[in-house]
Structures are given as C-alpha cells and as structure tokens.
Amino acid sequence: MRYRAVLLDLDNTLYDYNACYAAGNDAVFPWLEGVTGRTRAELEPVYREAKRRNHVALAGTAASHNRLLYYQRLAELLGLKVFGHADTMLGLFWEAFLARMEPFPGACELLRAVRPAGICLVTDMTVEIQYRKIERLGIGSLIDTLVTSEEAGREKPHPWPFTLALSKLGARPDEACMAGDDFTKDAEGPLLAGIDAYWVRQRASQHEPMFAHPRMRIVHDLVELKDALLAD
C-alpha cells in the first residue's frame, strides 16, 4: 500500500448509522407519547421542526448535530419542562442507538489490513459521542486518532478537518486517502484538499457520482475498499 495516512468516515461507513438512528427513535417516541398523550405521527413533525431550527441556527458547526439541543428545542415546542424531559430523551436515544451498533462486515479486517499506515477517523458531529461509538464498535485499538467537526471548527467538505487529520498523522495530501459513504463530504471534500478519495457506495439507494475524477475510486463495501487500498 502506497498511502502513509488513511482517513476514514465513521457513520454509515464503518457501521449502519441509519439502523441505529431508527432504534434510538423507536426508544424515544413511545416514551414521549406517554408523556404528552400525542401519537408518534403527531410528534414526529414537531421533532423535525426542532431539528430544523437547530440546523439553521447552528449551520456548519458541530453543535448543529447536538442531540440534546434537538430535544431541548422539542421540549420547548411541546411546552414541556426542559429538565427531566430533554435529558431523558437523550439517554433513551443513545442507549438504544449504541445497543444496536455493530461493525459492517469487513470493517475490522479493513482497519487491521491498513494498520501499517496512520489511521484517522474524520467525522462530523461532536467528539464525546464519537468516542462512545468507537468504544462500542471495539475499534479504538485499531485507529490512531480522531478528528471531529467540533475540533476542526468546520464540517466536511471544508478542508480543515482533512488538513487537521494530516497534521496529526504527519502526512502530506499526496500521501493520504479518504474513504466514506457521503459523496460530497467524503469524496469531493478530500479531492479539493489534494487527497485521493474512495467513495464507499454501500447502499443501492445512493445517487450516481456527481462527477468522475482520476483520483477518485468507487467501491461498494469495505472488503472491496480493503482490496483496493492494498493494491494501490
């Protein structure tokens, strides 16, 4: 393998974020139905509005993904006391989310195979919950470091998260690659920073690539990604 630094996304790249997210919501909404007397069908639009307001107010920052802020806004919109409601929803969500987590097939094998290079997870969201996810997946010993948008001050595809990761690993852009499931954040972003990109298109529902690039490859699972990295 020619790369000295391998940068990897976490959510929906190394494990199924969508399934875990659904499990978290399945824990929160029944509890909230009991508290409010409203149905899930009535509550979900209010939750989406709370989330939208948070994203608008905090666009481009890690805080825009802070789930406690989502639930705080939700409690406010529902006329509930924040304390005792927002924090309870947060606990229910993450307990169910983390319990559902398991690595995608080939994830641990990928990390072991590219271990001669430095490995950094480059992810949006806040650092505390990403540490908990890494612990739950049991991959902490297989990676060197982590960069979140909270630390970098900008979200992918801004170059700052990628350049910070390279700085931590002591590598140049031409010595590194980035792999992830989000075309804009994990392929277009690193290419603009001079880093080779591997778009991990694991879900059939994902769109076609927005463009072709000589330094971008498309793979369809983590086994294929491992083989591609070792062959390069």
Per-residue pLDDT of the chain (232 residues; tens, 9 = 90+): 999 999 999 999 999 999 999 999 999 999 999 999 999 999 999 999 999 999 999 988 888 989 999 999 999 999 999 999 999 999 999 999 999 999 999 999 999 999 999 999 999 989 999 999 999 999 999 999 999 999 999 999 999 999 999 999 999 999 999 999 999 999 999 999 999 999 999 875 566 776 778 999 999 999 999 999 999 7
Q: Are 155 and 61 in contact (CB under 8 A)?
A: yes
Q: Kindly state which CATH superfamily the domain 5-16+102-231 is placed in.
A: HAD superfamily/HAD-like (3.40.50.1000)
d(CA 12, CA 48): 21
* Residue spans per domain, the chain: 5-16+102-231, 18-100
Catalytic residue among 11, 16, 181, 182: 11
d(CA 130, CA 137): 11
Give the predicted TM-score (pTM) of the model.
Answer: 0.94
Q: Is 221 a catalytic residue?
A: no
DSSP code per residue over 140-169:
GGG--EEEEHHHHSS-TTSHHHHHHHHHHH
Catalytic residue among 9, 124, 181, 196: 9
d(CA 110, CA 202): 15
d(CA 1, CA 37): 58
- DSSP letter at 186 equals I
d(CA 137, CA 97): 12
Q: Is 11 a catalytic residue?
A: yes
Straight-line distance from the first to the last Cα atom of the chain, in angstroms, rounded to the nearest whole number: 6
| CB-side neighbour CA atoms (13 Å) of 6 | 27
